[in-house]
A and B are shown apart, each in its own frame.
Chain A
């Protein structure tokens, strides 16, 4: 009864939220425009193998009205009848709001949407990998707050070994090893010594920051040859890379990006459709029951946490081997923590984590695009927006995120 009441109330709130978004599109973006202004969205990238499809030019005000009308319609439908997949519709409405913003920002100008999507995906890669690392660990009830540190170790090792070996692949493997080692450290502390997992993770963060910065300033700064790794170049997939928009965004990437996309899919399938996943989730929710049924709780945790560390190491390697081609002190810059937020936002699922990471990636990519368009809003406020949206969405609709039941608790065999 109460549940039902809550559901209708939530449904109504969401309908109103859709209408508010529609109103905001008009109130925020319409005043600064004139009827003669036109917006151009381009879709072709230079030096791309994709088939050209040209660009789309339309009246700025017309575009804004169209988006607002569709949002009003969705809101009215939600209030009157209700959508089944209401969160999907919420996503669509938020996306339309973003489109309205871009329509306004690119008035009398042209914006390359394919470039925007590409940048969004690339910036989301390290965040997604961080979140996946968290998912791997927390699904078997080990909290991993040391992702940031594991990524740093991965980044440092890939730069050093990638330079010494003059091979990006060897650098990548070294990063996986370094991340796995830090994962093993977390596992030993959390499982064998039953250290409070948040302490263990914090210690790993501080230790990794110290180790990478210390050895970085001792060696990488004084001997530049040690900080010049070979990097991965983009590998366009045959045929697929020729599809417009999708081709350049998804199928013309470097190896670590493909690995990330594959990992999201593989971990999702493994977690929800295989015996290993069932065991992992059982260990995360009710270790005692899992133990009774013959699952080796401790072994499951060791394996998952070490694999999680390797995934985080891959995230660090991405930053070095396909992004900036060198190691800098603290270059992860909080991405491990954003990844944690993405994991919680994505409700501890790989696909949800990817979705949340894309939001943060989009935020990151706005920085460069808006600088080009010379938007009159202080850039700082635009850069705040995605964090604000995350908070609002979290408070308004997602609400309580429920972690695995045994998350953070050491297991003692009786």
Chain B
């Protein structure tokens, strides 16, 4: 009896150990993917630095030393640009505690707030594409939805006056959601009614949105500021999103980030806890089965695209109301394509998208500092992002590199099948 009990216990322990081991394993691969990308990035930095070649002419030792120096300077600037300098934070904190002057402390937080600020629109755009993927739709149009939402948001933001902030800001956000949703509904409706491919239509709508915004904001256009620059007027102060550190104008970290997190929770709830979400996922996985189960495939497609467009629209709204304060003509953001990568990296799961966006946000913030201090071109982020995506998507490469054993069981979720045809 006791022997049996004991074996039972050890089996249970073993299982627990196994489970925690497995959890560690699932985290290990993405971690090693990031590390590997950083190593390759370091090689690119070292190989393209002329001072390294000069140092190697003096000897191998001097050359290697220079390589370490160059990479350390670049990545030092990178990490302090993304997460902040711990020494400065401690110093700032101690000044705050001893003298009550918190300015140095707040300033030391600037890098990490930049990371979160960059992550904010990425979260919205990534969620937009991820939601589309779940519904079997490939929304390449986040960029166009972003443009139209920018126009609607900024219009409500500057044209409406004399309204208290708790009405104005939500209205401006809502305008962005509606603008984005409208631009998402068009390809959704066309797909549902005529079968026209959403990939073509969202690409076409990107260009149409781009031209339309150009027309509206062009000098002399309907929404131009009128000072000879192709930009919109500033939004009213009542439409601006609340800043976390209003005392420090450098820091542009605002409640848009909180809204982005709430949006992720909302998408999670919608997809996995509601009937609507179940319908979206069913239509995405097997439209025929959804139809036989009595769901309206057409309605679900239109709804999915509306939600997706609305989320992409919020990326523009939070950018304008939280950070820029107006809409520039050359607003091309590149979010549309980053969003695809984020949705894929996050496995089309809302919380995965948030993590991936934080990573990309850190890369953005870090690379800017790296360019300013170490003169390494900003474009290194794209190289790192591309490599990280490849290594995370093909874990077999990482496993082969580090001799890791493959994780057991199926882990992949089917996100996109072909062109998402019906």
Contacts and interface: CB of A to CB of B under 8 A. Distances in A.
A210 interface: yes
Interface in A86-135: none
A396 B194 contact: yes
A340 B203 contact: yes
A203 B419 contact: no
A409 interface: yes
A300 B28 CA distance: 35
Contacts of A400: 194-196
B55 interface: no
A402 B393 contact: no
B419 A200 contact: no
A51 B241 CA distance: 67
A32 B421 CA distance: 45
B114 interface: no
B396 to A, nearest CB: 5
B359 to A, nearest CB: 13
A408 B138 CA distance: 13
Nearest to B187: A391
Contact of A341 (B194, B199, B415, B417): B199
Contact of A213 (B344, B382, B393, B397): B382
B390 A399 contact: no
Given A196-B416, A399-B194, A210 B200 contact: no
Contacts of B44: 214
A211 interface: yes
A205 B340 CA distance: 11
B377 A399 contact: no
B140 interface: yes
Contacts of A216: 379
A319 interface: no
B383 interface: yes
B337 interface: yes
Contact of B379 (A217, A345, A403): A217
A344 B393 contact: no
Given A206-B382, A214-B383, A394-B197, A409 B393 contact: no
Contacts of B205: 387, 391
A385 to B, nearest CB: 9
Interface string B200-213: 11011111100110
Given A391-B204, A395-B190, A399-B194, A206 B389 contact: yes
A210 B218 contact: no
A196 B381 contact: no
A384 B397 contact: no
A200 B394 CA distance: 9
B138 A344 contact: no
Report whether over half of chain B's contact residues are helix, strand or loop; otherwise say mixed.
Answer: helix
Contacts, number: 159
A399 B415 CA distance: 24
Interface string A266-306: 00000000000000000000000000000000000000000
A348 to B, nearest CB: 10
Contact of B394 (A189, A205, A338, A388): A189
B420 to A, nearest CB: 9
Size category of the binding interface on chain B: 35 or more
B385 interface: yes
A394 B377 contact: no
A207 B383 contact: yes
B386 interface: yes
Contacts of B382: 206-207, 209-211, 213-214
Interface stretch (A173-181, A236-244, A249-257, A375-383): A375-383
A394 B140 CA distance: 17
B344 A198 contact: yes
A334 B207 CA distance: 10
B340 A341 contact: no
A340 B197 CA distance: 12
A8 B278 CA distance: 38
B200 A407 contact: no
B287 to A, nearest CB: 13
B341 interface: yes
Contact of B389 (A202, A219, A390): A202
A5 interface: no
A337 interface: yes
Interface string B129-170: 000000000101000000000000000000000000000000
B196 A391 contact: yes
A198 B340 contact: yes
Contacts of B377: 213-214, 217-218
B413 to A, nearest CB: 10
17 contacts: A193-B394, A196-B415, A196-B416, A202-B389, A203-B341, A203-B389, A203-B390, A207-B382, A207-B383, A210-B382, A341-B200, A378-B215, A381-B211, A391-B204, A401-B200, A403-B419, A409-B417
